[in-house]
Structure 1
Amino acid sequence: MIEFAVETRDDGIGVVTPQGRLNMVSARRLKEILAELVGGGTHRIVVDLGETTFLDSSGLGALIGGLKSARQAGGDLRIARVSPAVMTVFELTNLDRVLRARDSVDGAFDD
């Protein structure tokens, strides 16, 4: 079972850290978490994938849905600390062009 660490930092950025396998079962919960953050006024979100060991198309769909919601609210969603195995999934689907991986959570919104 995957766990999610969720934090809203002092600078207003929401940080979500999926810990484990982000698959069809857990993607539903990620969608809910991202929707709750955006609905609660947190429009800049970083998904820290440093502790995510696996990602499938459902997980990608949840991330893209969160990206769309955040952007519609005037914010953005960024990914950080992506492992090589998970990065391969982004590259194979060309979603690495839509969700550019950042090296760190702290620097995800520095550009």
Structure 2
Amino acid sequence: MLTQEVKIFQPSGSLDATKSQAFRQEIATIVENGTKVVLVDLKNVTFMDSSGLGALVLAFKTLRAANSKLVLCSINEQIRILFELTGMDKVFEIFANQEEFEKSMMLRA
């Protein structure tokens, strides 16, 4: 159902300083490929710190500059609290899971 225009990225474990550089490189590759929407599915991410959040914000800005968008799904309680404390829950479009994202994409089509 999902077209080539959507790239799903599923990090796992901790999204912190040790993984944020690799995440940024992955996003740079996605931008070069001309992907229109990047869905970051965080269901397997158990912990995120400020470095992980910074990587997401940088990815958001990078994609927006390339006329693409970044959306998130399946965030856990710790990440949701981090987003609310930093106001990022107002910046990112967050879906409950991939199915909810797919439904919204079908409505926009």
Instruction: Say yes or no: TM over 0.5.
Output: yes
Moved more, 72-81 or 98-107: 98-107
- 2:67 is matched with which residue? 74
1:54-73 equivalences under 5 Å are: 54-73=47-66
AA aligned opposite 1:76 = K
Aligned residues: 103
Taking only the aligned residue pairs, the percentage that are identical comes to 29
Find out whether 1:32 has 2:37 as its counterpart: no
Q: CA deviation at 1:11?
A: 4.3
Q: Deviations over 1:8-57 (max 9, x none)?
A: x5342011101100000101111110111011111310100111000011
Q: Distance in 1 between matches of 2:86 and 2:53?
A: 9
Q: Which runs of 4+ in 1 moved over 4 A?
A: none
Do structure 1's residue 85 and structure 2's residue 70 form an aligned pair?
Answer: no
What is the root-mean-square deviation of aligned Cα atoms in Å? 1.5
What is the aligned partner in structure 2 of residue 4 from structure 1?
none
Partner AA of 2:7 in structure 1? G
Q: Which runs of 5+ in 1 are unaligned?
A: 1-8
**Structure number with bigger Rg:** 2
| Cα deviation code 1:47-93 (max 9, x no counterpart) | 00111000011111111111111111111100101111111111111
Q: Which has the higher contact order (CA 8 A, sep 6+)?
A: 2
For normalisation by structure 2, the TM-score amounts to 0.86
Judging by fraction of residues, say which structure has more strand.
1
Could you tell me which runs of 5 or more consecutive residues in structure 2 were left unpaired when the two chains were aligned: none
Q: What code does the residue aligned with 2:68 have?
A: G
Structure having the higher helix fraction is 2
